[in-house]
């Protein structure tokens, strides 16, 4: 397909995002193609490892292509978005469970759906242009694609901070927070990819000293508070105007749900459990949340003035995260 270059080269299966003008945004068809390709290579003796990278300097993948989900939801078609999220999450789980090494070269913007591809690979490489974030609270969604799982495993209160603010991480912070494994200067990536293709040997991946990680020393104690309101009160006490301004612009419901979900994910034993919880929210997102308004303001009209209206009460958060019964996300069980 035009948006992905899928091929075999030497010992490697290669998947390359090829829509740089769209910041390699992940469409429904792309998610299906990645999943289908991985299934095809699972028992292919010619493929020793999989390499995922991207064309263009600006982005590995800046998120999901959700304009179609917006248009369908606005017209009362909620099934299209539900299918998109379910198929995307199944692809995320396939990456996390894959029996062969998957090496992701994550340059530029790696956000939302891009984290769902690169963040669950077995070998996650970052460079000097890398900017990783889960900015869903700004569009009325929650950190999904297994994002709550990754956030829940970040040290201290980094998970809560990133979920609520959508702050971007450079290479050092991404490694510290557990979203990446290895820093390698990007000018060395082509040579490493060529050697991986030739040998199929991930032992060739040797990282350098990662850049500094400001998150290591940031005081995130306010994000240990019980509720978003308590967190805001603590930030006001500290006089943290910069973070307060960010939170004031985000969906109150998304922040409340994201906070609850990151904390719930700390008790999960498998990423798939976190994905299933995320799907409960996204299955309902076009009907019962701020999602359509957030997409309108940030992506469609781009006026950056969302009018958040959704109920952010604990009862509504609980209802959004309640079982979907027969519509619960089902995932393939792999050995």
Residues annotated catalytic, as ranges: 64, 113, 136, 144
Distance CA(294)–CA(302), nearest Å, equals 10
Please check whether residue 236 is in contact with residue 51, taking contact to mean a CB–CB distance below 8 angstroms.
no
Q: What is the pLDDT of residue 335?
A: 42
Measure the CA–CA gap between 151 and 158, rounded to whole angstroms: 7
Long-range pairs of 227-232 with CB within 8 A, sequence gap ≥ 24: 227/256, 227/259, 228/164, 228/252, 228/255, 228/256, 228/259, 228/312, 231/160, 231/164, 231/259
pLDDT of residue 333: 56
Q: What pLDDT shows up at residue 2?
A: 86
Instruction: Give the start-to-end residue ranges of the domains of the chain.
Output: 4-325
Identify the segments of the chain with pLDDT beneath 70.
1, 333-335
In CATH, what number does 4-325 get? 3.90.226.10
């Amino acid at each position: 397909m035009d948006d992905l270059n899928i091929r075999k080269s030497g010992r490697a299966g290669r998947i390359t995002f090829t829509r740089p003008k769209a910041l390699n945004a992940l469409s429904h068809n792309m998610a299906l193609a990645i999943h289908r390709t991985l299934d095809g290579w699972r028992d292919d003796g010619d493929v020793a490892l999989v390499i995922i990278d991207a064309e263009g300097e600006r982005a590995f993948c800046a998120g999901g292509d959700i304009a179609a989900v917006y248009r369908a939801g606005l017209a009362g078609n909620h099934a299209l978005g539900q299918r998109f999220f379910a198929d995307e999450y199944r692809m995320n789980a396939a990456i996390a469970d894959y029996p062969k090494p998957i090496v992701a070269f994550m340059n530029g913007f790696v956000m939302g759906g891009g984290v769902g591809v690169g963040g669950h690979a077995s070998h996650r490489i970052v460079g000097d242009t890398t900017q990783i974030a889960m900015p869903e609270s700004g569009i009325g969604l929650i950190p999904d694609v297994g994002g709550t799982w990754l956030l829940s495993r970040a040290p201290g209160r980094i998970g809560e901070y990133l979920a609520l603010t959508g702050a971007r991480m450079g290479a050092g912070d991404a490694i510290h927070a557990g979203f990446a494994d290895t820093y390698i200067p990007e000018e060395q990536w082509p040579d490493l990819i060529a050697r991986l293709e030739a040998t199929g040997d991930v032992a060739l991946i040797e990282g350098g000293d990662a850049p500094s990680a400001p998150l290591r020393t940031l005081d995130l104690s306010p994000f240990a508070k019980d509720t978003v309101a308590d967190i805001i009160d603590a930030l006001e006490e500290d006089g943290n105007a910069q973070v307060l301004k960010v939170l004031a612009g985000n969906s109150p419901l998304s922040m409340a749900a994201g906070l609850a979900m990151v904390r719930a994910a700390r008790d999960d034993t498998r990423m798939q459990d976190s994905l299933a919880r995320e799907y409960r929210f996204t299955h309902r997102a076009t009907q019962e949340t701020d999602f359509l308004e957030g997409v309108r303001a940030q992506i469609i009209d781009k006026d950056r003035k969302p009018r958040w209206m959704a109920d952010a009460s604990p009862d509504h958060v609980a209802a959004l995260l309640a079982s979907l019964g027969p519509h619960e996300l089902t995932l393939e069980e792999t050995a």
